[in-house]
Structure 1
Amino acid sequence: MMAGVSGRWLRVLVASGLSLLLLPLGLALNPDMGSSSAGLLWLLGTSLGLFPLTFRFLLAAGGLLALFTGVVLFTPLTAFLVRGLVVRDVPQKADLIVVLGGGMHCGAGELEASSLARLEKGLELWRAGYAPRLTLSDTVGEIFGSAGCPSLGRVALERVRALYGEAGPEVVLLPKMRTTRTEALAVAKLVRDRGYRRVLLVTTPTHSRRAVAAFRKLGLEVWSVPSSEPRFDMALPTPADRLQALTPIVREYLGLLKYRLQGWL
């Protein structure tokens, strides 16, 4: 009896440690995971140690995830998958620079690094004379998980006005933006209504294939001019860079699948 109880607690202890070790991979796949969700996953993993069958399942899953992590960190597969997501065109003279929405730090009311990189690239193209105007996405707070989150586009517009004042570019806010699809639909309407022709599309590199395909599906004449990648080195020289790249790889390939099934590509 005592041996059975001791064995059970040993399994629980091992399951708890293994769950903790796997949490960084879960956070890499979903960086928006909150502490409560991470804690629930740890508790779930720990509970699998209560019974021999579920404990064996946890060990098998842990082994597969360890193999997957090794492939991601130490083989060329990650670089191959990242290259498949990037569309980079030579910029052309255009009517409009479309700066797609990225992320927001809702608590601080500040642009997240991907949004800053996209805005910086859009302004760089404007300063170089490629187009006289740009669009920003006037987002709804719910897409960032908080109804009170400021609009990404309006925060970005304040930044543009602080930098350039009245001498800055003409800015068009696309209202109530939630997804790349809604941004593409709004830009297509804007192009039709104003008689524009050519669009320069700015987003982060790993988002560019899905974004440019969604815009071209609507008949837009689009050139993809990605920003820099703020989260990792695009050359992927280190295992840490390859681990950071895992999040956009999973998100974008799933996004491509979803958009194809919806007929949006």
Structure 2
Amino acid sequence: MSMTIPAILMRHTSKWLPFIDRRDKCPADECLTKTRLAFLVRIGTYRLGCFAVIALVIGCGLALRKDASEFLLYRLTYVRHLPESASTHNDVVYVLGGTPDSLKAKFQTASKLVQDGRAARMLVLSQQALMAFSPALGRNLTADEWVVENFSAFGIPADAIEFVAFEKGFFGTWSEAKGLSRFVRERGYRRLILVTSPFHSRRVWESFSRAIEQPDTGLFLYLADESAYLRHLLPEYVKLLLYRALLF
């Protein structure tokens, strides 16, 4: 004897649907509706459970990421500000490198030091690179021209900026520190003020404080107003550990 589709569904689903009794003499359409509702309830519950698990994983990940960023930034940051004594013409600011946006933040910090009378001149690493296109010149600016243009936006004239060049090495910050140490000794600068990113400051300080050859040269460090993300902090922490293991 042939059976209708609703009857077949009711027969096979009554085993796991508690509210359907095989002895019930409900109409076929009503039984099919109950089957569909039960199926939708099960699917909805499953999806809600999945969303809850995903939300929990994302929340824990964000919390751990924030804690890791705060820990690494604390370990990577170092500051040493100038005392209140007056500056002289032998006090200079050295701006460490970075991306264009990072450099602009450093320029702002360095410019304030000069404008507040804490230093007389800027020292910037000279680089052979091309920067943004200049409509006024009809060509791309060189890296040094770009530096002068951006410092002028903060009120620093070109004659207050001096470009320096060093021999590059495998350990960039360490090579920079050694080169600047020789430059400072030759010029007889009394105080050297470093300006760098917060997450780079610990490695900068440990490199420059060991490289400065003149014991009477005061070394100070200021931080630019820059954001630091985990993608910046992790590589920098690895570099710091390598410097400590191989150089210091």
Band of TM-score, shorter chain: 0.5 to 0.7
For residues 145 and 166 of structure 2, the distance between their equivalents in structure 1, rounded to whole angstroms, comes to 11
Percent identity between the aligned chains? 25
Q: Say whether 1:258 aligns with 2:226.
A: no
TM-score with structure 2 setting the length = 0.59
How far is 1:161 from its partner?
Answer: 4.1
For residues 95 and 188 of structure 2, the distance between their equivalents in structure 1, rounded to whole angstroms, comes to 19
**Residue pair 1:134, 1:169 contacting (<8 A) in 2 also:** no
Question: Once superposed, which parts of structure 1, at least 4 consecutive aligned residues long, lie more than 6 Å away?
Answer: 65-68
For residues 215 and 128 of structure 1, the distance between their equivalents in structure 2, rounded to whole angstroms, comes to 24
Query: In the comparison of the two structures, how many residue pairs are matched?
Result: 171
Which of 102, 118, 127 is the matching residue for 1:114?
102
Secondary structure in structure 2 of the residue aligned to 1:80: helix
How far is 1:131 from its partner?
Answer: 0.7
The structure having more radius of gyration, on CA atoms, is 2
Which of 201, 206, 210 is the matching residue for 2:203?
210
Structure 1 77/163 Cα, relative in aligned 2: closer, same or farther at 3 Å?
closer
Q: State the one-letter code of the partner of 1:255.
A: K
**Residue pair 2:106, 2:197 contacting (<8 A) in 1 also:** yes
Any gaps of 5 or more consecutive residues in structure 2? Answer: 1-56, 131-139
For residues 205 and 60 of structure 2, the distance between their equivalents in structure 1, rounded to whole angstroms, comes to 30
**Residue pair 1:101, 1:153 contacting (<8 A) in 2 also:** no
TM-score with structure 1 setting the length = 0.56
Structure 1 151/101 Cα, relative in aligned 2: closer, same or farther at 3 Å?
farther
Q: Say whether 1:198 aligns with 2:191.
A: yes
Any gaps of 5 or more consecutive residues in structure 1? Answer: 1-64, 104-111, 143-148, 233-244
How far is 1:80 from its partner?
Answer: 1.7
For residues 184 and 166 of structure 2, the distance between their equivalents in structure 1, rounded to whole angstroms, comes to 18
Q: State the one-letter code of the partner of 1:221.
A: G
Pairing of 1:58-69 with structure 2 (within 5 A): 69=61
Structure 1 151/91 Cα, relative in aligned 2: closer, same or farther at 3 Å?
farther
Q: Say whether 1:139 aligns with 2:127.
A: yes
Pairing of 1:1-265 with structure 2 (within 5 A): 69-70=61-62, 72-73=64-65, 76-92=67-83, 93=87, 95-103=91-99, 112-141=100-129, 152-161=143-152, 164=155, 166=157, 170-175=160-165, 179-219=172-212, 221-229=218-226, 231=227, 245-263=229-247, 265=248
